[in-house]
Amino acid sequence: MFPFRRSSDRILSGLFLVPLAFALGGLFAAADLQIAPEVGNISDFRTDRIAFHYVQLVDKDGNAIPDRNSGKDNSEATLVIIDRGQLTLLKDGYDDPSQVRDREREYLAKIYHYTRLRELEQEYKKLPEAEKRTLRTATEADASDPKVGDSGKEAKAVSSAENKSATNSVLPEPEPRSKGLDLLLKFDDELLKHYGAAKAAYAEYVRSEKIYGKDSPRTSSLRNKYSEAMERVSARKRVLSNFLRNPGPETNPYPGDRKDQNVFTNHMNGVPDYYLHSTSPREVDGMIRGEEEVGKKYGELYRKARDRLVDAEIEKLYYYFWNRDMTNTRIKVEKYLKGKKVVVVTGDSTVYTMIDKEDDGITESFFVDSPGLRFSWGRDIPNILSISNCTDEAILSKIKSLADEVASGRIQKKVEKLDITVPEEQILEELKPLLKNL
């Protein structure tokens, strides 16, 4: 497979990579790479370090791609900094959980409404024809009158109610219950709410007329309140009547499957929009949201730390590649989707994984995992670098040729010596001037 490797290497590699293939195959099959570092899921605060997580499951048009966990953010990057035992998280593409919940509730309300109207349609078909006629008669006049729009219909209803009140001391009661009306009330919560409000308003109005008289300001106010409530009942009944006459996508559009809903709308742009600082595990001491403030204060730190970490890990990969005999580093290339996956296991058990899924010479995903570290933020998630489906040009410029270079053995940059003690600590030392404001 690799002409530049000796036969003894191939034998050792074959023995070593049989169990490795299963382990790494399980990494991408079982791990949910959308699990991002959070103050509650980071396992170790004791050792100073830096780590970076990035996942992009949004296409060029901003739509979430199907291969994702719809319950987690599909476009988010997180830089982890642990310095002097204190944690800082900087996120790009952060979505406020309360806003996400609001979007989810909005979708659930839509799908519930859609389902109830479908059930109403089925039950309406079972009604006796006489009941259908009664129901249609109650709403058809307004619904079919082309000269009267919705606002005109409401004015007509008010005028009719006022004319009746001139000849009768009491306005007419809300429509009496019938099989048709009961069916509408059963399957439409909005009509049920309006009908209940109209009944209550009518009872108040009748009491007021008996006590204060029909010309009192209080009675007039309640009369208007009741008329408005009946307008809402009539308007909703017209909507339902229109649906029952023409059931289908035009009157009851399908809101889409849950998995296709994009409730995470804030996408990455290279500028952090969320800051969290913690001086002790599981506790939050400081938090800032918003790109304007976070980007201004911590944007330089975010980009420098991210880029420096990626560069350091690539440098380390090059070192092990050029010294693979001495360090017992092993390499494996396998087919992955349309392209390839390249796995390098170094002498210190660090695992580098590069994926070119389209076989277009661009490495979209780059993972660096050190199983010996206690530090992690999710089961089977690479714990140093986890860059999945990258579209960020600044990161791509560094990683895009890695899979091809390692697979072919044609790495141009030769690294024979490297201080590889703890590159993350060295990076923190370099970044000290920017860390003092955390």
pLDDT (tens digit, 9 = 90+) per residue, 335-369?
Answer: 998 999 999 999 889 999 999 999 999 999 999 99
Taking only the tens place, the pLDDT of each residue in 254-273 is 999 988 888 999 999 999 99
Read off the tokens for 247.
């059931």
Read off the tokens for 375.
């530090």
Predicted local distance difference test score (pLDDT) of residue 346: 92
Predicted local distance difference test score (pLDDT) of residue 243: 92
Cα–Cα distance measured from residue 318 to residue 331, given in angstroms and rounded to the nearest whole number:
12
Read off the tokens for 426.
């060295």
Predicted local distance difference test score (pLDDT) of residue 13: 38
Which H or E run contains 10? helix 7-30
Taking only the tens place, the pLDDT of each residue in 78-130 is 999 999 889 999 999 999 999 999 999 999 999 999 999 999 999 998 888 88
What is the amino acid identity at position 316? Answer: K
SS3 category, 92:
strand
Predicted local distance difference test score (pLDDT) of residue 148: 39
Predicted local distance difference test score (pLDDT) of residue 167: 38
SS3 category, 352:
strand
With a CB cutoff of 8 Å and minimum separation 6, the contacts of 336 are 355, 356, 357
Predicted local distance difference test score (pLDDT) of residue 170: 59
**For all residues of the chain together, what is the average pLDDT?**
84
Q: Is the pLDDT of residue 22 over 90?
A: no
Which H or E run contains 274? strand 274-278
What average pLDDT does the segment 199-206 reach?
94
- Name the CA radius of gyration of the chain, rounded: 33
Nearest to 423 by CA among 367, 379, 368: 368
Q: Are strands 351-356 and 365-369 parallel, antiparallel or unpaired?
A: antiparallel
Predicted local distance difference test score (pLDDT) of residue 421: 54
Q: Is the pLDDT of residue 166 over 50?
A: no
Query: CA 30, 32, 36, 41: dihedral to nearest 10 degrees?
Result: -50
Which of 64-68, 135-139, 390-394 has the least mean pLDDT?
135-139
Read off the tokens for 176.
């009496």
Q: Is the pLDDT of residue 294 over 70?
A: yes
The separation between CA 355 and the C-alpha centre of its own chain, rounded to angstroms, equals 24
Read off the tokens for 37.
């570092």
**Cα end-to-end distance, the chain, whole Å:** 48
275 vs 71, more confident? 275
Q: What is the pTM of this model?
A: 0.77
Task: Give the number of other Cβ atoms within 10 Å of residue 290's Cβ.
Answer: 13
Cα–Cα distance measured from residue 342 to residue 97, given in angstroms and rounded to the nearest whole number:
36
Read off the tokens for 277.
């600082």
Read off the tokens for 158.
């008010």
Predicted local distance difference test score (pLDDT) of residue 417: 82
> What are the distances in angstroms from CA 132 to CA 119, 137, 178?
16, 9, 11
HSE-CB for 31 with a 13 A CA cutoff: 23
Looking up tokens 């309300």 gives 109
Cα–Cα distance measured from residue 78 to residue 100, given in angstroms and rounded to the nearest whole number:
18
SS3 category, 276:
strand
Which of 19-28, 231-240, 249-258, 368-377 has the least mean pLDDT?
19-28
Which of 7-11, 187-191, 255-259 has the least mean pLDDT?
7-11
Which of 126-130, 290-294, 314-318 has the least mean pLDDT?
126-130
Looking up tokens 């439409």 gives 188
Cα–Cα distance measured from residue 301 to residue 66, given in angstroms and rounded to the nearest whole number:
33
163 vs 293, more confident? 293
Which of 127-136, 144-153, 193-202 has the least mean pLDDT?
144-153
What average pLDDT does the segment 50-61 reach?
89
